[in-house]
């Protein structure tokens, strides 16, 4: 089945782009990665993939994206480190929707600059069916749907627009993408910035990045396959004891949910020993953190992300 799909989409992209150039925002997530590889098969070096390092990526993510897409797949990859710019724009901002809006706007600005440099004619997007079906009634403003095409005034190509997530994963596998990509948990566009409650600073993001890596690592080691597993920096300090000394440190919340499509979700009954291991590692490996809580709330009423 995928052979035909690939052949058809590759043909369509090739024909549409012709002698022009196309650009894609590559995040390393399964959707944009799959769209990028499909487009690369179709038009090779005429595809310019742009990876914007917002400063809110997961641990080792920028390195992984460069290694995979530039070194291994040979994509024409533009790596843009815009982290200083994102942190500067978010200085002093604490309101969740304002954070999302700013991140979305800066992302578009950065991407627009590259698109102009490249002199692109087409925009390739990894939009999948739920993105455009759900984007109308959204509770939160998602920065990865809608914003880019309107502003850029480029021809839009969406090779995955009729697919659902599980189909994209199959296709990604078929295209030879690494398992780390096709089996990966969803990760929000605004990244770790919405997992640091309150102000987003490089130091606070660094704390949640480490905690998040520990959560992902222990969930994987335990052989669990939740929809998502992550850490959130609450911005609440609590009292603890270290040796004979009173300490006053940050609190991390751990969220692990099961879901089919992200629209509703249940808190996962993660075995207690796994949770304890996570708490132990976070408090011993991250000096700023003194307490770890497990979020037992379903969606609804709580959303999956905290902001
Ligand atoms: P919520 O928090 O609304 O999240 O329950 C539902 C699913 O969407 C993901 N999410 C996002 N994905 N851009 C994305 O691509 C975003 O801005 C965004 N915000 C939330 C979230 O991780 C969950 O899987």
- Residue listed under structure tokens 């914003």: 147
- Name the E strands within 82-119: none
pLDDT attached to residue 147: 63
Cβ atoms of 130 and 164 within 8 Å: the answer is yes
Q: Is the CB of 165 under 6 A from ligand 1?
A: no
pLDDT attached to residue 171: 98
CA of 253 to the centre of ligand 1 (A): 17
Q: Is the CB of 228 under 6 A from ligand 1?
A: yes
pLDDT attached to residue 134: 65
Cβ atoms of 148 and 125 within 8 Å: the answer is yes
Q: Is the CB of 139 under 6 A from ligand 1?
A: yes
pLDDT attached to residue 151: 73
pLDDT attached to residue 150: 73
Top mutation candidate among 28, 145, 186, 187 for ligand 1, by most atoms within 8 Å of CB = 186
Q: Give one word for 103, left, alpha or beta, with left for phi > 0 and alpha for psi -120 to 50.
A: alpha
**Measured between alpha carbons, how far is residue 51 from residues 27, 35, 82, 126, 295 in Å?**
6, 14, 10, 14, 32
- CA-nearest of 282, 272, 289, 200 to 238 is 289
Q: Is the CB of 305 under 6 A from ligand 1?
A: yes
Distance separating alpha carbons of residues 184 and 65, to the nearest angstrom: 13
CB within 8 A of 167, min separation 6: which ones?
none
Top mutation candidate among 35, 262, 266 for ligand 1, by most atoms within 8 Å of CB = 262
CA of 51 to the centre of ligand 1 (A): 19
pLDDT attached to residue 130: 83
CA of 193 to the centre of ligand 1 (A): 13
Pairing of strands 266-267, 245-258: antiparallel
Q: pLDDT tens digits for the chain (307 residues)?
A: 899 999 999 999 999 999 999 999 999 999 999 999 999 999 999 999 999 999 999 999 999 999 999 999 999 999 999 999 999 999 999 999 999 999 999 999 999 999 999 999 999 999 998 887 766 656 676 655 456 767 778 999 999 999 999 999 999 999 999 999 999 999 999 999 999 999 999 999 999 999 999 999 999 999 999 999 999 999 999 999 999 999 999 999 999 999 998 899 999 999 999 999 999 999 999 999 999 999 999 999 999 999 9
- CA-nearest of 269, 264, 253 to 302 is 264
CA of 59 to the centre of ligand 1 (A): 19
């Amino acid at each position: 089945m995928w052979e035909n799909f690939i052949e058809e989409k590759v043909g369509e992209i090739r024909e549409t782009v012709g002698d022009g150039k196309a650009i894609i925002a590559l995040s390393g997530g399964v959707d944009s990665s799959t769209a990028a590889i499909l487009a690369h098969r179709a038009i090779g070096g005429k595809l310019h993939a742009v990876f914007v390092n917002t400063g809110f990526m997961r641990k080792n993510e920028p390195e992984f994206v460069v290694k995979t897409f530039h070194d291994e797949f040979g994509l024409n990859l533009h790596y843009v480190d815009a982290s200083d710019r994102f942190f500067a724009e978010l200085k002093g901002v604490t309101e969740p929707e304002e954070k999302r809006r700013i991140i979305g706007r800066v992302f578009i600005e950065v991407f627009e600059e590259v698109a102009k440099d490249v002199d692109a004619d087409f925009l390739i997007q990894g939009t999948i069916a739920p993105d455009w079906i759900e984007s109308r009634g959204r509770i939160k403003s998602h920065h990865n749907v809608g914003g880019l095409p309107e502003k850029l005034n480029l021809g839009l190509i969406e090779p995955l627009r009729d697919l659902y997530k599980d189909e994209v994963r199959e296709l990604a596998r078929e295209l030879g993408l690494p398992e780390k990509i096709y089996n990966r948990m969803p990760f929000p566009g605004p990244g770790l910035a919405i997992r640091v409650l309150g102000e987003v600073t490089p130091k606070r993001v660094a704390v949640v990045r480490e905690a998040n890596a520990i959560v992902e690592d222990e969930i994987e080691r335990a052989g669990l396959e939740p929809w998502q597993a992550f850490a959130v920096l609450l911005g609440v300090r609590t009292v603890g004891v270290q040796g004979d000394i009173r300490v006053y440190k940050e609190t991390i919340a751990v969220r692990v949910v099961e879901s089919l499509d992200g629209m509703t979700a249940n808190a996962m009954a993660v075995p207690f020993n796994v949770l304890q291991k996570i708490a132990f590692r976070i408090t011993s490996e991250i000096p700023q953190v003194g307490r770890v809580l497990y979020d037992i709330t379903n969606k609804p009423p709580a959303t999956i992300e905290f902001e």
